Amino acid sequence: GAVVSQHPSWVICKSGTSVKIECRSLDFQATTMFWYRQFPKQSLMLMATSNEGSKATYEQGVEKDKFLINHASLTLSTLTVTSAHPEDSSFYICSASRGPGIPFGNGTRLTVT
């Protein structure tokens, strides 16, 4: 149990376009989901906390107008990278709050050309 699915697993987009990443909790409901970014050979850095039915909470230094988060249901949160640039290329990972343990998705590799 406690499976988190992320889609797509990888995406390539052109600079200036927007990309949407989905995070779903498959067998449980999650009022809170988390979005992380991981650059090569680095740790996971929390970008924002997604709350169902309310606005996301962004970590310091993360542009909320660039990284749009929508958590419209108890099983789905989306992250949209707007006007993507090459420096946004990274590995984006979501997780869902379900008590201790906090399962993670398998990540989305975003490459902006």
Partner 1 sequence: GQQLNQSPQSMFIQEGEDVSMNCTSSSIFNTWLWYKQDPGEGPVLLIALYKAGELTSNGRLTAQFGITRKDSFLNISASIPSDVGIYFCAGHTTGTASKLTFGTGTRLQVTL
Residues numbered 77 to 96 that lie near partner 1 (CB under 8 A) are 91, 93, 95
Q: Name which of 105, 8, 112, 1 is nearest 50 in CA terms.
A: 105
CB-wise, 6 or 75, nearer to partner 1? 6
Which part of the chain contacts partner 1 (CB under 8 A), choosing from 12-20, 69-77, 80-88, 101-109? 101-109
- Provide DSSP, 34-90: EEEEE-TTS--EEEEEEETTS--EEPTT--TTTEEEEEEETTEEEEEE-S--GGG-E
Number of residues that bind partner 1 (CB under 8 A): 26
- Which residues here bind partner 1, judged by CB under 8 A? 4, 6, 32, 34, 42-46, 49, 59-61, 91, 93, 95, 97, 100-107, 109
